[in-house]
Amino acid sequence: MGRLKTYLLLLFLLVLCGCGGRPHGADPAVAAADSLHFARNLSIAYCDGYTSVRIRDPWDTLRQRQHYVLVDRDAPLPADLPADGLLIRTPVERAVIYTSVHTAIAEQLGALDRVVGVCEPEYITSQVVLDRIAAGRITDVGLSTAPNTERIVDLGSNLIIASPFENSGYGSAEKLGIPIVEAADYMENHPLGRTEWVLFYGLLFGARDEAEAAFAQTRDRYFALRALAADAPRPTVVLERKYGNSWAVPGGKSYIGTLHADAGADYLFRDVPGTNSTHLSFEEVYDRAGEAEFWLLKYGDRTPMTYARLAGEYDPYSHFRAWRERRIFACNTLTSTYYDDITLHPDWVLEDLIALYHPDLLPGHVQRYYFPVDE
Amino acid sequence: MNKVRFFWLYAALAAALLSLCCIGLMRGSVQIPLRDVARILTGSFDGREAWRHIVLESRLPQTLTALLAGAALAVSGLMLQTLFKNPLAGPSILGISDGANLGVAVAMIWLGAASYLSTILAALIGAGVVLLLILWFSRRVRGSVMLLIIGLMLGYLASSVISILNYHASADKVHQYVMWGMGDFSGVSIAKLPWLAGFVLAGLGASLLMVKPLNALLLGDAYAANLGVNVRRTRFLVLACTGVLTAVVTAFCGPISFIGLVVPHIARMLTGTDNHRHLLPVTLLSGACIATLCSILTVWPGSNSLLPLSAITPIIGAPVIIYVIVNRRNFHYFQ
């Protein structure tokens, strides 16, 4: 059923990406070119003289959000470019990147020389990027929510890569006439769907081969790990914790839900609909998952998570079985590179999870993100 | 209104409060049969342990927290409306809850401390600083209106610092702070309830002792002084009392809008009087009722997804305020 859906989706995307609306738009060469399997909001079609990249609106899936037409910088413009497309000459030479995640991807693709500006360097973990900022080779252009547009113009940048939010634009940066690439990878609900976006970034930076290699490596590793955990007994797990009056529970079809299922866990809220989180009451989570064998949560704080701190937050946590049996694991998103890695390396996160759920499957594994909570 | 009618009003409010508390204990997103809830409360339940934890450690403290917070905010609102002779005054107007917000924003966003206790402490410190400033100004500034404006300005200052902090914060932390700002009666566990209850009951007790001076203030400062009321001292006591109530409730439950502003008006409609001898207890009971009702409504009927408290209180509050504004001439309580 899932495979059928994938094929139908591919077929749909192919129909959608007919190049330039020409009658032969769906010829086999093009069909073979559009090879995305996991990303739902992205489609890439290689056409004669240009590459057509379409981004579906993640919040309104019937709408197309962007259509980029990528043409080689040195090649002449083809006569039959799609009229609705935003032209980007590739490889991009002077890009400004708003997010630390995509800066990390540019670094992995070996394209840092093409990056001239970044936002919010305080969230950048890569020493190479930080050194470049210190040396003045990469400029800090301010806050991602309100970047310094004068500096962007001054840098002579010819592309902006930004992370889109629902119903919000990019302020004055939109009026600069510089193409803005909306990097909506975080809205994908399959872990490899996020990774697949790297193919698009590879095209932008003229690093198609590197991007394809990086994606193939992650995909193969992910599948190998998934196969490893496929037949293991599935321990039950509950995720995250109560915040405010509710417990935001990731949906069964969210990328978090998929990741834990692929790691060989029985995620107790996999029936929660949707690809985002749903706010449930403490009593409902406790009623259903009080006896879960594992409890995994994320937090972003300089001091490590402890049982004492959890009890201080909310005493009734102590009734969970995972609490009694000391099987609560936490990922500190502030001190680890979790958010930097999740796009390009869901396999690393998957490996961590498998090592928790099935320690005998990955002997000698050293945890990267999730660690036992201290007393 | 005669004594008999007041008796029935109190009886009706007490009955309403009791039944709302029962609903709060019986109703939740997990279906627990009534009989089992009753058995759990009387200690004769021997079924699922999880249900006992849910009723005694989740629903019971949440209901009691809502009751206490509602009473505290409503009484604070009433006292401030009387003190400032302004029907639109409320606990949030003096900047005290903004001070608590600022304290929490500094702790969460700037210092990166996110534990429950540090949040409470930060809110108390923030509210306390603003309260001390207000009390200090109350001794230097003569008119209540001037003091009101100073309170508003302190609130604006706090908000401006908060927006600067938010502007520079990561999405994670802003989210955390926004969640706190939505208000929450469920965060106070049974172990922390005595702290909240102690402060709130002390504050409410003190407010009940201030009925006479509050009535005198209604006549105007000059008349009150003629009646032998020390106006400055009364003003100081009212501010201290409402300040502590607001600070404690905000620290434990986050900022809760509308209840303090709206409930005194509901109480005036119910009693038809501005005599605090009846108005204050009725405000107290109505506040407890309405907050408990709001707490129940966060589990919206027919849905298992929770609503934030800050989405519920205006549904009840806003229509009342509009009614008061439209019918302002019919309300004679501030000349």
Q: Which chain A residues touch B168 with a CB distance below 8 Å? A: 143
Residue A24 pLDDT class (50, 70, 90 cuts)? very low
Mutate to test the interface with A, among B25, B108, B306 (most CBs of A within 10 A): B306
In a domain, B62, yes or no: yes
Q: Which of A49-63, A96-110, A351-365, B138-152 has the lowest mean pLDDT?
A: B138-152
Q: For residues B42, B45, B48 and B51, what is the CA-based torsion angle, rounded to 10 degrees?
A: -10
Cα–Cα distances in angstroms (integers) from residue A238 to residues A251, A328, A331, B198, in the given order: 12, 10, 14, 35
Residue B196 tokens read as 């909240």
- Average pLDDT of chain B is 88
Of A123, A280, A302, the CB nearest to B304: A280
Residue of B nearest to A124 (CA): B170
Residue B48 pLDDT class (50, 70, 90 cuts)? confident
- Is the pLDDT reported for residue A175 higher than 90? no
How many domains does the structure of chain B reveal? 1
Q: Which of A194-203, A349-358, A366-375, B30-39 has the lowest mean pLDDT?
A: B30-39
Position with higher pLDDT, B302 vs A59: A59
- Is the pLDDT reported for residue B47 higher than 80? yes
User: Which residue blocks in A125-278 are alpha helix, DSSP H?
Assistant: 127-134, 149-154, 191-204, 208-230, 255-262
In a domain, B27, yes or no: no
Residue A13 confidence (pLDDT): 47
Which residues touch A142 (CB under 8 Å, ≥6 apart)? Answer: A119, A120, A148, A151
In a domain, B20, yes or no: no
Residue A34 pLDDT class (50, 70, 90 cuts)? low
Contact yes or no for A319 and B50 at CB 8 A: yes
How many other C-beta atoms lie within 10 A of the C-beta of residue A263? 27
Q: Chain B interface residues facing chain A, Cβ-Cβ under 8 Å?
A: 28-30, 49-51, 53-54, 57-59, 112-117, 167-168, 170, 172-173, 176, 179-180, 182-187, 189-192, 254, 298-299, 304-306, 308-309
Average pLDDT for A76-80: 88
Please state, in angstroms and rounded to a whole number, the distance separating the CA atoms of residues A151 and A113. 18
Contact yes or no for B115 and A282 at CB 8 A: no
In a domain, B207, yes or no: yes
Contact yes or no for B186 and A284 at CB 8 A: no
Residue B169 confidence (pLDDT): 77
- Is the pLDDT reported for residue A87 higher than 90? yes
- Is the pLDDT reported for residue A28 higher than 50? no
Of B172, B189, B299, the CB nearest to A281: B299
Average pLDDT for B58-66: 95
B100, B120 contact by CB (below 8 A): no
Which 8-state DSSP code applies to residue A99?
Answer: -
Please state, in angstroms and rounded to a whole number, the distance separating the CA atoms of residues B187 and B65. 9
Tens digit of each residue's pLDDT (9 = 90 or more) over B290-307: 999 999 999 887 777 788
A44, A34 contact by CB (below 8 A): yes
Domain A227-372 has CATH 3.40.50.1980: yes
Residue A32 confidence (pLDDT): 40
In a domain, B41, yes or no: yes
Which residues touch B273 (CB under 8 Å, ≥6 apart)? Answer: B1, B279
Closest CA to A288 of A320, A326, A265, A251: A320
- Is the pLDDT reported for residue B333 higher than 70? no
Of B59, B170, B309, the CB nearest to A245: B309
Residue A61 confidence (pLDDT): 81
Residue A27 confidence (pLDDT): 40
- Half-sphere exposure (Cβ direction) of A126: Cα atoms closer than 13 Å: 21
CATH number of A94-184: 3.40.50.1980
- Is the pLDDT reported for residue B211 higher than 50? yes
Percent of chain A with pLDDT over 70: 90
ipTM of the complex: 0.83
What are the φ/ψ torsions at residue B277 (nearest 5 degrees)?
Answer: -60, -35
Closest CA to A61 of A36, A89, A39: A39
Residue B335 confidence (pLDDT): 45
SS (H, E, C) B120-174: HHHHHHHHHHHHHHHHHHHHHCCCHHHHHHHHHHHHHHHHHHHHHHHHCCCHHHH
- Is the pLDDT reported for residue A16 higher than 60? no
Residue A372 confidence (pLDDT): 96
- Average pLDDT of chain A is 87
In a domain, B9, yes or no: no
- Is the pLDDT reported for residue A26 higher than 60? no
What are the φ/ψ torsions at residue A162 (nearest 5 degrees)?
Answer: -135, 155
Q: Which of A12-21, A167-176, A284-293 has the lowest mean pLDDT?
A: A12-21
Residue B321 pLDDT class (50, 70, 90 cuts)? confident
Q: Which of A104-113, B111-120, B126-135 has the lowest mean pLDDT?
A: B111-120
pTM recorded for the entire structure: 0.83
Q: Which chain B residues touch A123 with a CB distance below 8 Å? A: 170
Residue A109 pLDDT class (50, 70, 90 cuts)? very high
Residue B29 pLDDT class (50, 70, 90 cuts)? confident
Position with higher pLDDT, A17 vs B270: B270
Residue with tokens 């970044």: A118
What CATH number corresponds to the domain at position B180? 1.10.3470.10
Of A243, A287, A315, the CB nearest to B30: A287
Tens digit of each residue's pLDDT (9 = 90 or more) over B236-288: 899 889 988 998 999 899 999 889 999 999 998 888 888 999 999 999 999 99
* In chain A, ranges of CATH 3.40.50.1980 domains: 94-184, 227-372
**Residue B272: domain span:** 32-330
